[in-house]
């Protein structure tokens, strides 16, 4: 398949190019577009055949449902049964990096929601994404635009690596602001929400508007044998680099000692900026990736998938990384990193 690439400046959006991409969506074809979290692989969410092509292009299992992207929070009511709590969340955080699971209406085909009675709705804040959804006039179903099992794409180059030749259009909108996927919450009957996937909108953010948040076990722990995931995506090993990835908890001295004794040839270390010089001195043969300052969770979120993709190309025997703290945005990093590491953590 021939993939057309369209370059758009989010600050000066070219209406003609948006109209062209929107027409491709309306025709039932696939368009990759930027969002503030990661790039999405989009198709008309109401068109069953188009949605099936998304699953095919990604190699995604058909039992893992998609998020539908709407141009304004109010549009959710056309496709889902909204409720008071939805509007409170929308008022505070939309457009923005949050996805809400609501009961679906019949106009969203079962293929989009993998046969579930619910559907995930998100109103992104990225200007290109919003222009595209508005111009298309239909909700856009979009998973992250990576091949199933590799890290979500946060730059145009990542998208081209995974999706060139597998979709009709790729919009180049530069790097994604945040770099990790949206926060996902499910609205529970009792006025609380369950956090299914942590992201830039944190537990604290939700609590600050008076919402009670339960964190689903699978966010921080491994699912037990036979346990049912509240969100089908939680049961898949995601974001997995080819090399073994192990998370280390301990002082930099303890980490350096551990790495010296690890007995592997090609080792990479993801290090906080604060420790890069120290590790370079202690571990001259180890390749070091700069993760951002220890306290700068936004920088780390922005770099994580990019680092994992770069490391993947190098054929390392082992990749080591610091175990993140679980508070604030750290919970999103923790969630992605323990899954990429298949829960391998060493406490030194
Ligand atoms: O930031 C994001 O959310 C990006 C951008 C493109 O919007 N999209 C994204 O989509 O990360 P995806 O498909 O890679 O992840 C969606 C997650 C999956 O884990 C899926 O299982 C879950 O949302 N999900 C979708 N519909 C659901 C539903 N009805 N109930 C529970 N979980 C659902
Ligand atoms: Mg994904």
For the Cβ of 13 lying below 6 angstroms from any atom of ligand 1, the answer is no
Domains recognised in the chain with CATH numbers: 4-219 (3.90.870.10), 244-347 (3.40.50.11030)
Q: Has residue 228 got a pLDDT over 70?
A: no
User: What does the alpha-carbon distance between residue 181 and residue 332 come to, in Å, rounded to a whole number?
Assistant: 9
For the Cβ of 116 lying below 6 angstroms from any atom of ligand 1, the answer is yes
Q: Do residues 169 and 21 make contact, with C-beta atoms less than 8 angstroms apart? A: yes
User: What does the alpha-carbon distance between residue 81 and residue 293 come to, in Å, rounded to a whole number?
Assistant: 43
Q: What is the pLDDT of residues 176-196, one digit of tens each?
A: 999 999 999 999 988 899 999
Q: Has residue 21 got a pLDDT over 70?
A: yes
Distance (Å) from CA 152 to ligand 2 centroid: 6
Distance (Å) from CA 215 to ligand 2 centroid: 20
User: What does the alpha-carbon distance between residue 171 and residue 5 come to, in Å, rounded to a whole number?
Assistant: 6
Tell which one of 59, 71, 99 to mutate to probe ligand 1, the residue whose CB is within 8 A of the most ligand atoms: 99
Instruction: Please indicate, yes or no, whether the overall pTM of this predicted structure exceeds 0.85.
Output: yes
- pLDDT of 210 reads 96
Closest C-alpha residue for ligand 1 atom 10: 143
Ligand with minimal distance to 122 CA: 1
Closest C-alpha residue for ligand 1 atom 33: 231
10 closest CA partner among 124, 123, 169, 126: 126
Worst-scoring range by mean pLDDT, 214-218, 226-230, 338-342?
226-230
SS3 217: helix
For the Cβ of 200 lying below 6 angstroms from any atom of ligand 1, the answer is no
For the segment 258-281, the average pLDDT, to the nearest whole number, is 97
Question: What is the average pLDDT score of the chain?
Answer: 95
Q: What is the pLDDT of residues 67-122, one digit of tens each?
A: 999 999 999 999 999 999 999 999 999 999 999 999 999 999 999 999 999 999 99
Distance (Å) from CA 82 to ligand 1 centroid: 18
Q: What is the pLDDT of residues 286-339, one digit of tens each?
A: 999 999 999 999 999 999 999 999 999 999 999 999 999 999 999 999 999 999
Asked if residue 165 has a cis previous peptide bond (ω within 30° of 0), the answer is no
């Amino acid at each position: 398949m021939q993939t057309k690439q369209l370059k758009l400046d989010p600050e000066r959006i070219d209406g003609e190019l948006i109209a062209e991409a929107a027409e491709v969506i309306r025709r039932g074809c696939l368009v990759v577009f930027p969002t503030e979290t990661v790039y999405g692989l989009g198709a008309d969410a109401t068109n069953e055949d188009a949605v099936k092509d998304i699953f095919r292009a990604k190699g995604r299992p058909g039992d893992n449902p998609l998020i539908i992207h709407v141009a304004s929070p109010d549009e959710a009511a056309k496709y889902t049964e909204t409720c008071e709590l939805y509007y409170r969340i929308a008022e505070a955080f939309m457009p923005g990096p949050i996805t809400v699971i609501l009961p679906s209406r019949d106009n969203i085909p079962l293929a989009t929601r993998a046969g579930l009675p619910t559907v995930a709705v998100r109103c992104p804040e990225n200007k290109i994404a919003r222009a595209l959804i508005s111009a298309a006039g239909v909700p856009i179903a979009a998973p992250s635009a990576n091949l199933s099992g590799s890290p979500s794409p946060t730059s145009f180059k990542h998208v081209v690596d995974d999706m060139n030749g597998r979709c009709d259009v790729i919009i180049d909108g530069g790097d994604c602001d945040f770099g990790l996927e949206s926060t996902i919450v499910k609205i529970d009957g009792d006025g609380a929400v369950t956090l299914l996937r942590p992201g830039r909108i944190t537990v604290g953010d939700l609590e600050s508007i008076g919402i009670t948040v339960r964190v689903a076990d699978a966010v921080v722990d491994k699912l037990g044998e036979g346990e049912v995931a509240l969100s089908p995506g939680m049961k898949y090993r995601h974001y997995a680099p080819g090399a073994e990835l192990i998370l280390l908890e301990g002082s930099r001295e303890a980490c350096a000692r551990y790495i010296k004794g690890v007995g592997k040839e090609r080792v990479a270390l993801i290090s906080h900026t604060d420790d890069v010089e120290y590790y370079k001195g202690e571990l001259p043969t180890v390749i070091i990736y700069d993760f951002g300052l220890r306290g700068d969770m936004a920088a780390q979120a922005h770099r994580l998938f990019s680092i994992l993709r770069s490391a993947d190309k190098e054929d390392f025997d082992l990749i080591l990384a610091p175990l993140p703290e679980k508070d604030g945005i750290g919970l999103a990093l923790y969630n992605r990193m323990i899954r990429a590491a298949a829960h391998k953590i060493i406490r030194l």
